[in-house]
Chain A
């Protein structure tokens, strides 16, 4: 309160500056504000040190002790695993985000039934991963599974034993991942589209932009940065994904469809090769560090000024 008096007085005098800036606005916190700022930041800084930095350093230390790298690079199954991870986090994620982007354009259409459909479409996201993926596993189990029963009942064909073929099993893994996570990204893109002011579209339509032109010259440029940020985040999350490969295909056939996360886990806990597992975990760093740095860079320009 004591600070407020001279400020009000200053305004009343009619300062010659056309815009008046509050002193606390551009000079950072001062006095008791700093105390508050520190108090507010303590919980997260504590989390960051205790549960992020320490485990990461510990992991690096364990990894630097590990002798497993040579052995790992000679392991043909490891390279198959890297390829599978690429299929999921590289190909699958991009297909998912592209579809989510298109679908967000569908769900933005006005209409009561489209709103209701969006609710239904979001169900996979609200459904916990484990039950959903266990259901997927039993659905594609082959004879007696729902998929083959349905194929038989509707088309009269006999479905394959899905998890006996590498291509089918891997396809189902990627499909399951897309099924589970596409709704979330559709919602994020929908939020992005809703944030585009209508007058931009009005101005574009005065200039004659319709249909495809509207999409190519207005919607996409405005959402391009969001799209990139989402791709980076989704890739980082997909690299860490354990549940899909572990429960949908469970590595079948013959552990061919494992990803790095499940490979690491199996090496460490099923076979007790802790060093090999740690080495396999650290192998993603050359990929995840640039992705994170790029994400940080892009986030600083996410706010698009027009």
Chain B
């Protein structure tokens, strides 16, 4: 890194000193960024590993670290957590289904607009962005009523529908821009070999879009995992509830065991973190929107 950093400041006599200063500044910035990113995470762990009585006693390090809270969550030994693993499964189902449907619908739409050169295809991608005209949280009431009309109240599919709706415009947008980097000649040569659009989509388009698929997949999964408002409104029964709604239930009482809540929160946070780190290599290249053509 030193070579690039110093190339900004080349042509000086005390080259060594400057190189050292730049490096030192980078390290200092790096340390600050790490602290910035980690403090809330550390706080979660601090509370989760403490005993109930020690939670707000002014400690900065768990005085008697224990796994008690995790054991309680694991064994579902608390009133709010009676159906924890079932609700965890609900969260998983909603997250994964949202991801798959977003990828499927997004790639199919962007493939048709971008590769089949549909004449008025741009209108559809603009229409998709009109979804953002009414911000999602203000659409909650009409959505709630409409789900009743569709007969989907208290049904995980209503949340999935909402999540796919809000993830699709951005995913179509990313896919379309990423798709421009795939040469059109590939499609043409496949057509000369007699491929149908479906074959081009499955055999050429999807494999070459892999980085964008990973990036958008992670994005849509996280969107569903981050969501609270729609899950709270649309899912009411304990068996259909997701973990985020169950987590917020702790706030209903004043003397809730916060260490149980934080242990639940940590377990809930693990799957998206694992998925993110597994797909990290593709993220940066997949999120390219509107690259620069030389």
Count, chain A residues at interface, CB 8 A: 123
Interface string of A275-306 (1 = CB under 8 A from B): 00110111011001100100110011011111
- Name the residue on A nearest B129 (C-beta): A296
User: Which residues B214-232 have CB closer than 8 A to chain A?
Assistant: 222, 225-226, 228-229
Other A-B pairs, 18, CB within 8 Å; known A37-B118, A288-B133? A25-B117, A44-B108, A44-B124, A52-B130, A54-B146, A58-B146, A123-B38, A125-B276, A126-B277, A134-B247, A134-B261, A139-B40, A191-B285, A195-B292, A210-B8, A236-B132, A250-B251, A280-B138
Cβ of A254 under 8 Å from chain B: no
Please indicate the chain A residues that have their CB under 8 angstroms from the CB of B141 in the complex.
Answer: 59, 62, 268, 274, 277-278, 281
Contact assessment for A130 and B244 in the assembled complex, using a CB-CB cutoff below 8 Å: yes
Contact assessment for A292 and B265 in the assembled complex, using a CB-CB cutoff below 8 Å: no
- Name the residue on B nearest A122 (C-beta): B276
Contact assessment for B130 and A292 in the assembled complex, using a CB-CB cutoff below 8 Å: yes
How far apart are the CA atoms of A141 and B165 in the complex, in Å? Answer: 36
Please indicate the chain B residues that have their CB under 8 angstroms from the CB of A45 in the complex.
Answer: 124
Contact assessment for A126 and B272 in the assembled complex, using a CB-CB cutoff below 8 Å: yes
Contact assessment for A121 and B33 in the assembled complex, using a CB-CB cutoff below 8 Å: yes
- Name the residue on A nearest B139 (C-beta): A55
Contact assessment for B133 and A56 in the assembled complex, using a CB-CB cutoff below 8 Å: yes
- Distance between B183 CB and nearest chain A CB, rounded to angstroms: 12
Contact of A41 among B26, B30, B112 (CB under 8 A): B112
How far apart are the CA atoms of A187 and B276 in the complex, in Å? Answer: 13
The interface stretch among A76-84, A90-98, A146-154, A161-169 is A146-154
Contact assessment for B58 and A152 in the assembled complex, using a CB-CB cutoff below 8 Å: yes
- Distance between B193 CB and nearest chain A CB, rounded to angstroms: 8
Cβ of B289 under 8 Å from chain A: yes
- Name the residue on B nearest A29 (C-beta): B116
Contact assessment for B142 and A58 in the assembled complex, using a CB-CB cutoff below 8 Å: yes
How far apart are the CA atoms of A193 and B128 in the complex, in Å? Answer: 27
- Name the residue on A nearest B140 (C-beta): A265
- Name the residue on B nearest A151 (C-beta): B60
Cβ of A14 under 8 Å from chain B: no
How far apart are the CA atoms of A137 and B170 in the complex, in Å? Answer: 30
Contact assessment for B284 and A190 in the assembled complex, using a CB-CB cutoff below 8 Å: yes
- Distance between B81 CB and nearest chain A CB, rounded to angstroms: 15
- Distance between B82 CB and nearest chain A CB, rounded to angstroms: 19
Contact assessment for A153 and B60 in the assembled complex, using a CB-CB cutoff below 8 Å: yes
What are 8 A-B residue pairs whose CB atoms fall within 8 Å in the complex?
A: A40-B108, A44-B128, A44-B172, A109-B1, A109-B26, A135-B47, A149-B59, A306-B292
Cβ of A120 under 8 Å from chain B: yes
Please indicate the chain B residues that have their CB under 8 angstroms from the CB of A113 in the complex.
Answer: 30
Interface string of B266-290 (1 = CB under 8 A from A): 1011001101110010011111111
Please indicate the chain A residues that have their CB under 8 angstroms from the CB of B130 in the complex.
Answer: 52, 292
Contact assessment for A144 and B58 in the assembled complex, using a CB-CB cutoff below 8 Å: yes
Contact assessment for A240 and B133 in the assembled complex, using a CB-CB cutoff below 8 Å: no
Please indicate the chain A residues that have their CB under 8 angstroms from the CB of B137 in the complex.
Answer: 240-242, 261, 264-265, 281
Cβ of A271 under 8 Å from chain B: no
Please indicate the chain B residues that have their CB under 8 angstroms from the CB of A74 in the complex.
Answer: none
Contact assessment for B138 and A284 in the assembled complex, using a CB-CB cutoff below 8 Å: yes
Contact of A40 among B43, B109, B126, B248 (CB under 8 A): B109
Cβ of B17 under 8 Å from chain A: no
- Distance between A302 CB and nearest chain B CB, rounded to angstroms: 3
Q: Beyond A4-B192, A109-B5, is A188–B289 a contact (Cβ under 8 Å)?
A: yes
- Distance between B230 CB and nearest chain A CB, rounded to angstroms: 10
Please indicate the chain A residues that have their CB under 8 angstroms from the CB of B11 in the complex.
Answer: 210
Contact assessment for B57 and A144 in the assembled complex, using a CB-CB cutoff below 8 Å: yes
- Looking at B43, B47, B105, B262, the one whose CB has the most chain A CB atoms below 10 A away is B43
Contact assessment for B134 and A285 in the assembled complex, using a CB-CB cutoff below 8 Å: yes
Contact assessment for A194 and B284 in the assembled complex, using a CB-CB cutoff below 8 Å: yes
How far apart are the CA atoms of A134 and B249 in the complex, in Å? Answer: 12
The 10 A-B pairs of least Cβ separation, nearest first, read A302-B290, A240-B135, A144-B56, A281-B138, A131-B265, A111-B1, A195-B291, A126-B276, A261-B137, A59-B142
How far apart are the CA atoms of A51 and B132 in the complex, in Å? Answer: 13
- Name the residue on A nearest B132 (C-beta): A236
How far apart are the CA atoms of A22 and B105 in the complex, in Å? Answer: 28
How far apart are the CA atoms of A208 and B102 in the complex, in Å? Answer: 47
How far apart are the CA atoms of A226 and B150 in the complex, in Å? Answer: 39
How far apart are the CA atoms of A282 and B133 in the complex, in Å? Answer: 10
Contact assessment for B30 and A114 in the assembled complex, using a CB-CB cutoff below 8 Å: yes
- Distance between A63 CB and nearest chain B CB, rounded to angstroms: 9
Q: Beyond A47-B105, A187-B283, A194-B288, is A242–B229 a contact (Cβ under 8 Å)?
A: yes
Please indicate the chain B residues that have their CB under 8 angstroms from the CB of A264 in the complex.
Answer: 137-138, 140
Contact assessment for A210 and B265 in the assembled complex, using a CB-CB cutoff below 8 Å: no
How far apart are the CA atoms of A50 and B290 in the complex, in Å? Answer: 30
How far apart are the CA atoms of A88 and B110 in the complex, in Å? Answer: 32
Interface string of A149-188 (1 = CB under 8 A from B): 1101100000000000000000000000001000100011
Contact assessment for A138 and B47 in the assembled complex, using a CB-CB cutoff below 8 Å: yes
Please indicate the chain A residues that have their CB under 8 angstroms from the CB of B194 in the complex.
Answer: 1, 4
Contact assessment for A47 and B191 in the assembled complex, using a CB-CB cutoff below 8 Å: no
Interface string of B5-42 (1 = CB under 8 A from A): 10111110000000000000010011001101111111
